[in-house]
Amino acid sequence: MTLDPVTLAVVENGLKQVCSEMDLVHEKTSFSPVISEAFDRSNGIYGRENGEMIAQGELGLPIFLGVMQFATGAVLERRRDLEPGDIIIQNDPYLGGTHLMDVKMVMPFYYRGSLWCFLSNTGHWPDTGGMVPGGFCSTATEIQQEGLRLPPVKLVRNGELVQDVVDIILNNIRVPEERIGDIRAQIGALKTGERRLTALLDRYGVDTIEVAIEELKRRSERHMREVLSSVPDGCYSFTALLDSDGVVDEPLEIALDMTIDGSDAYFDFSRSSPPCRGPMNSVWATTQSAVYVAMKHIFPEVPINAGCFAPLHIQAPKGTVLFAEYPKPVAGCAAEVAQRIMEAVFGAMAKALPERLFGAPAGTSGNFALGGYDPEEGRDYIMYFFTGGGYGGSARTDGLTNGCSTVGISKTQPVEILEQHYPLLFEEYALREGSAGAGQHRGGFGVSYRVRLLRGEAKASFLMDHGRTGPPGILGGEAGGTNEIRVSQSDTVCEPEHLSKGEGYLLGANDWVQIRTPGGGGYGPVIERDPELIARDLQRGYFDPSGTTTNE
């Protein structure tokens, strides 16, 4: 069967729409602000044979592009007892996962009595137990310290919620009344996908949809090969640095040797640092997905499905920090290590295609967790907050200010919503002047915010990066400003020993936390910058003429 272009386009967008509607249901029905307001979730359709990606919603987090197909594949390998009405829950990082807070659900989709595909989703739960509220334990040295680890188990069997599994989960995490809402939201999203996908198949038929999927996969692979063929053949290397692992105060190297050979790209990270003691290890699924997302940033015109991954060959970096095995801790893998992997890909590719690349983005999600008890409301709470930073300058323009994390399209939660949910006050949320990397086209600016605890006690923890070195520029551009953390306890102000990582900060009423996120790296020598643009930046107060950061 050969499909006409119109039918192919309609089916392609129909599959995406199924996933996007799942995303919206997931978002609108979740209890946690990090999902309902920040969109830290994703939904997709995956193949029945090996779990490969068929479609993902336009509103889903990019880092889950590869991860969810690996997670779905892990379920296929380990659960041969799946039946209609079943839903599997899992968050095991070593089985196609990320960190424990990213909880996956996988549902077999049956059409007219036959298994046709899998519907899968991921939601970031603000807590899954562990040593610190929020799960971002910067001093963890084994996975058990990070929280509850779930193998693929049936959460729903024959359409009925398995209460024993729910009870185990809720009895091992903080604020269980919020988590049950998130559980039901994920289930609801999958059920929505089931209805919408059934309607799509009813309308166009199984044969048409399956032919379209195969054709879309072929076209995506062909398109990726076309753009790779435009890259000069050769080996390009770059090393990105992590501040530390949170336990040993020494930088870690993410070293990439990338080879372009015709229409194929080969990624070798074997020179990277060995596995670390702290939580800055990356599991194999996250490492692969980070490469996929980096390439999508560079070549955004290539449609996303399993086909576009075929020309990307990633050597398993066993024995390094990028191939974590049990029981290594991995809390920082998706939000932080993945962004250093992407930075390495950007840096290597900039040597081959400087006109397409850009100075490094902020490269940190700025993970800040605050957990405590609100005496006025009489309840426990956990706030998980992440922020944006500057993007790098490019050949065409200055970098974006306060852009989202490069691993996602999630956004910072509105501070007004957080002030309604939690006993705190945002005293500042502003552009961070002076943080952009200088260049012919400067980087974008990070943000600066300060949050004060109004009542009760709470514990603060941080798992961030780029506190030791700023996001690097390219082609002579300068690095962006570094990440900064300050904590005030009883009027005594301190900074974390590891600069971007710390935990166990007990806050009382009127104590505060100040965060300044990195700016993006510059593009090209600053001496080549248009004098009118320099004058404009100074006039707007973006930079202090004396050369110091204006918000210090």
Average pLDDT over residues 316-322: 98
Give dist(CA 190, CA 118) in Å, integer: 10
- Average pLDDT, integer, range 381-410: 93
Least confident of 173-187, 205-219, 236-250, 535-549: 535-549
**Residue 253 and residue 270 in contact, taking contact as beta carbons nearer than 8 Å:** no
Distance from C-alpha of 385 to C-alpha of 176, rounded to nearest angstrom:
19
- 23 vs 544, residue with greater confidence: 23
Confirm whether 268 is domain-assigned: no
Tokens representing 67? 């991860």
**What's the pLDDT band for 174 if we cut at 50, 70, 90?**
very high
Name which of 552, 183, 140 is nearest 543 in CA terms.
552
Full-model pTM: 0.95
Share of the chain above pLDDT 90, in %: 93
- In this predicted structure, what is the pLDDT of residue 408? 81
What whole-number distance in Å separates Cα of residue 393 and Cα of residue 256?
Answer: 22
Q: Give alpha helix (H) positions in 444-542.
A: 531-539
Average pLDDT estimate for 8-36: 95
CA contacts within 13 A on the Cβ side of 316: 8
Q: What is the average per-residue pLDDT within 24-31?
A: 96
The residue out of 195, 218, 241 marking a domain boundary is: 218
Q: What is the pLDDT of residues 221-237, one digit of tens each?
A: 999 999 999 999 999 99
Dihedral, CA atoms, 134, 284, 255, 474, nearest 10 degrees? -70
Domain annotation covers residue 298: no
| 552 — pLDDT class (breaks 50, 70, 90) | very low
* pLDDT 10s digits, 120-154: 999 999 999 999 999 999 999 999 999 999 999 99
Indicate whether 16 belongs to any domain.
yes
328 part of a folded domain: no
What band does 411 get if pLDDT is binned at 50, 70 and 90?
A: confident
Structure-derived torsion over alpha carbons of residues 179, 181, 186, 187, reported in degrees to the nearest 10? 120
Structure confidence by residue, pLDDT tens digits, 324-366: 999 999 999 999 999 999 999 999 999 999 999 999 999 999 9
pLDDT at 270 over 70: yes
CA distances from 405 to 39, 62, 254, 398 (A): 12, 10, 18, 17
Residue 231: predicted pLDDT:
97
Question: For residues 189 and 22, is the Cβ–Cβ distance under 8 A?
Answer: yes
- Whether the predicted pLDDT of 406 surpasses 70: yes
Please tell me the predicted confidence (pLDDT) of residue 48: 96
pLDDT(548) > 80: no
Residue 59 is predicted with a pLDDT of 79
Q: How far apart are CA 292 and CA 69, in angstroms?
A: 12
Domain ranges, residue 374: 358-552
pLDDT (average), residues 177-181: 94
> At how many degrees (to 10) do helices 206-229 and 176-204 cross?
100
Q: What's the total number of domains in the chain?
A: 2
pLDDT band for 41, please (50, 70, 90 cuts). Answer: very high
Asked which of 202, 218, 234 is the last residue of a domain, the reply is: 218
DSSP label of 334: I
- The average pLDDT across 445-461 equals 97
Domain final residue pick, 189, 218, 247: 218
The reply to whether 495 falls in a domain is yes
Q: Is the pLDDT of residue 547 over 70?
A: no
More confident residue, 411 or 197: 197
